[in-house]
Amino acid sequence: MAKRRKSGADVAIVMGSDSDWPIVQSAVDTLVSFGVSHEVRVCSAHRTPDEAARFASTAERRGVKVIIAAAGGAAHLAGVVAGHTTLPVIGLPITGGALNGVDSLLATVQMPAGIPVVSVTLGSAGPVNAAIFAVQILAGSRPGLKKELKKHKSAMAAKVRRGDKRVQGELRKMAQDR
Ligand code: RP5
């Protein structure tokens, strides 16, 4: 078999349809904010099963370390990808459709023993958390990324403290006005 050239991407994101892209995009934005290299593909477990299998089985040879697989409805993509690789697979269930994403959440998370897929939440937190989880996996061997993750946590904590200060100020003002 011909040797595949390394893509240079640490994280591979795959989605079942280009209709998933508006949701998946914030996973890309989050990876970019951490300076993590990535590749993005549309491959369907149902409509292009051979391509989905090829994408997954060649990912490690391309140099990929973590895969994020996004799909809606009967969301088999993350599971199929996990079946074709030993890389960690993060499932991103897509909200929408007749069951509003509950189907994709269950299809993504309910994997049989031996083929794990960790699933993130439905909704806007999902793609962000999928990307951060991928960064956390990479950070195990990269002190620079660990530092960035700590900075990210400190920034979130500072935002909460600012919010607390604001609410306390409003409460004081309300008490004075009473
Ligand atoms: C899934 O089916 C895709 O991941 C997408 O979320 C859903 C609907 O796909 P389209 O009909 O919009 O292409 O495979």
Please give the Cα distance from 98 to 141 (Å, whole number): 42
Tell me the mean pLDDT in the region 17-26.
98
pTM for this entry? 0.94
4 found inside a domain: no
Q: What domain count does the chain have?
A: 2
- Using 50, 70 and 90 to split pLDDT, how confident is the model at 5? low
* Whether the Cβ atoms of residue 38 and residue 138 lie closer than 8 Å to each other: no
Q: 142-149 — which CB contacts under 8 Å span 24+ positions?
A: 145/34, 145/36, 148/34, 148/35, 149/34
3 found inside a domain: no
Q: Which atom of ligand 1 is nearest to the CA of 20?
A: 6
* Percent of the chain scoring above 90 in pLDDT: 96
Give the chain's mean pLDDT.
Answer: 96
- Using 50, 70 and 90 to split pLDDT, how confident is the model at 4? low
Q: What domain range includes position 103?
A: 11-141
Residue 17 beta carbon below 6 angstroms from any ligand 1 atom: yes
